[in-house]
Structure 1
Amino acid sequence: MNETRRPPAPHPAERARTIAARGGRAALLPSDGADSRITPVLHHVHANGDATIVLPDEHPLVESARRGEVTAMLELADQAPVPLREPVRGLLWITGWLRTLDADEARETALRVADARPDPRLLDVGHGASALTLAPASLVVADAEGTTSLRPELFAQAEPDPFAAHEDHWLRHLELSHRDVVGLLGQHLPDHLKGGHVRPLGLDRFGLRLRVEMADEDHDVRIAFSRPVATAQELAVELRRLMGCPFLARQRG
C-alpha cells in the first residue's frame, strides 16, 4: 500500500528556535495559578533556551521569585504575517524555574539582550522594572507539522531558519502585491481545496506554506522546494520552479 509522503520540513528544534527568534506575543503562566496569564513588559529567549523576562517592580511575581525559584511556563505565539481567521500558526512553551535577578545580574542580562535585540524598554530595568530569568526544564513546539517535546540541549544545538528575519516582509509583499502568484500556486491544491481563499502562511528553507480558508474550516499546505535553500538567490530559483511544477503535499485536512 502506498502512503502519502510528507514533504521535508524543519526539525522541531529548528522550528522552536525560529519561533523564539521571531519573539512573538508572550504570556507567562506561574504554576501556582495566582495570575493565570501575565503579559511581560519584554521577553527574550536566548540561544540556550534560557528566557529573560521583564516585569514591573510592583508585580507580586517579582517578589515571589526573589524569595525562591518559582515554577512557571512561558508561552510564545507565532503570529502569521498576514491577517487570518486563525492568526496563530505555531506555539512554543518553555517550562522551567523562574527567579528574580539581583541588580548586578539584571544589568548584565539587559546588556546581553540589548546585543541581540535592542529595545528601549530595557532601559527600565533597575528603574521601575525587574529582570527575571527562566531556566528551562523542557520545551514543547506545536504547529501544523505536529507537537513535539524537546530537551533544552536539542533547542540549544539548533539554529533559527535563515529567512526568519525577512519572512514577514516577503509574505506580506506576496499577499498585497502578487496575488497572481498566490493564485497560480493555488492551482496545484488538491481538488477538494480549490475554491478556497489561498493565503501565504509561512516560508522556511524547506518550502512555502499556504493557508486555505474554506467555508467550514482552514487547511495548511506545504509546497516543498527541490532542495533546502539558504540564500535569497537560491530562494528565488526555487520559487520560480514552484510556479511551474510544485511538489505538493497536504499537511492538515
Structure 2
Amino acid sequence: MPTGGHGGERVVPHLHHVHASGSVSLLLADGHPLVERATEAEVAVMFELADCAPIDLREPVRGLLWITGWLRPLTLAAARARAVAISETRTDPRLLDLGHGMTLLRLTPASLVLADAEGTQSLRPYMFSAASPDPFHSYERNWLRHLESDHPDVVEQLARHVPEELRGGKIRPLGLDRFGLRLRVEAESGDHDVRLAFAKPVHSPPQLAAELRRLLGCPFLRGR
C-alpha cells in the first residue's frame, strides 16, 4: 500500500478487507508510523490489491485494483463493530488482536482503477458499490483447477481459438466470468491473455456447459 506525501513508501498491513462500498479495513500495529500519522490527520494513500489466478502460473497476477482515498483510524468501538462485520464474511484470528496491540483503520475511497490484460477502467465508489458479484465468483476457483488437472484435453481443444502465432506456448485456464473464459498463453515471448467470449452472458452451470460445448465445436474468439 503506497502512501502519499512521504516518499511513496509501501506498507503491508497484517490484514485487509475490501468492503462492498469500496472502503477498505486495514489492521496495523499500534505503533506503526502510518497509524501515528493517520491519528493526527487524514493520510492520502493508494491501496493495491492483486487478483491472483487459482492455478500455479509462472506469473500469477491476472489483474490489479487500485483504491485511492483517505486513511483514518477507527475508534475502538467502531473498529470492533467493523471487525464483527468482517468476520461474518471471513473468519480470521488476526481480528482478535484488535485492541491488543493492533489498530483498525478505514480507507475511504475517492477513486478506484481496475486493470488487467483487457484494459484499464476507472470507477467511482458508487459504481463499485452498485456492482453485483459475478455469478461464478464462488465457483471459478474450483472449476478452473478441475479444468487444469482433469481435463487437459478440453484445454487443448480450446487452444485452437488462440491466435496462431501463440499456439506454440503453453495454454492454461486463467479466468471465468459470465461473459467468457480467459486463457493464459505462456510463450517464449512472454505471457499473453486471450478471452474466449460467450455468445451471451451465462448465469448458471448448465448455461456454462452449453457455451463450453459451443466453443469446443464452433470457433469464436475475442482476444487482446
CA contact (8 A) 2:23 2:108 kept: yes
Residue 34 of structure 1: how far off its partner (Å)? 5.5
CA offsets, 1:62-120, max 9 Å, x none?
12111211111110001112222222110000000000111111111111111222222
Amino acid corresponding to residue 36 of structure 1 in structure 2: E
CA contact (8 A) 2:22 2:109 kept: yes
Partner of 2:163: 190
Amino acid corresponding to residue 94 of structure 1 in structure 2: I
Taking structure 2 as the reference length, the TM-score comes to 0.95
Residue 33 of structure 1: how far off its partner (Å)? 3.2
Q: Name which of 125, 136, 145 aligns with 1:152.
A: 125
* Structure 2 runs not aligned, ≥5 long: none
Q: Name which of 59, 70, 84 aligns with 1:97.
A: 70
Amino acid corresponding to residue 87 of structure 1 in structure 2: P
Cα distance between partner residues in 2 of 1:34 and 1:221: 37
CA contact (8 A) 1:208 1:224 kept: yes
Note the aligned Cα RMSD (angstroms): 1.4
Higher relative contact order (CA closer than 8 Å, sequence separation 6+): 1
Cα distance between partner residues in 1 of 2:95 and 2:27: 8
Residue 151 of structure 1: how far off its partner (Å)? 0.9
Amino acid corresponding to residue 197 of structure 1 in structure 2: K
Amino acid corresponding to residue 243 of structure 1 in structure 2: L
* Structure 1 runs not aligned, ≥5 long: 1-27
Cα distance between partner residues in 2 of 1:74 and 1:155: 15
Partner of 2:10: 37
Partner of 2:114: 141
Amino-acid identity (%):
59
Residue 233 of structure 1: how far off its partner (Å)? 2.0
Cα distance between partner residues in 1 of 2:150 and 2:20: 35
Cα distance between partner residues in 1 of 2:40 and 2:128: 29
Partner of 1:13: none
Cα distance between partner residues in 1 of 2:6 and 2:215: 48
1:48 is the counterpart of 2:21: yes
Cα distance between partner residues in 2 of 1:187 and 1:144: 20
Aligned residue-pair number: 224
Q: Name which of 141, 144, 148 aligns with 1:171.
A: 144
Cα distance between partner residues in 1 of 2:42 and 2:150: 50
Partner of 1:21: none
Taking structure 1 as the reference length, the TM-score comes to 0.84
Partner of 1:109: 82
Cα distance between partner residues in 2 of 1:209 and 1:35: 34
Partner of 1:233: 206
Amino acid corresponding to residue 63 of structure 2 in structure 1: G
Cα distance between partner residues in 1 of 2:147 and 2:36: 47
Residue 159 of structure 1: how far off its partner (Å)? 1.5
Cα distance between partner residues in 2 of 1:52 and 1:154: 19
Residue 160 of structure 1: how far off its partner (Å)? 2.2
1:209 is the counterpart of 2:179: no
Q: Name which of 111, 125, 129 aligns with 2:102.
A: 129
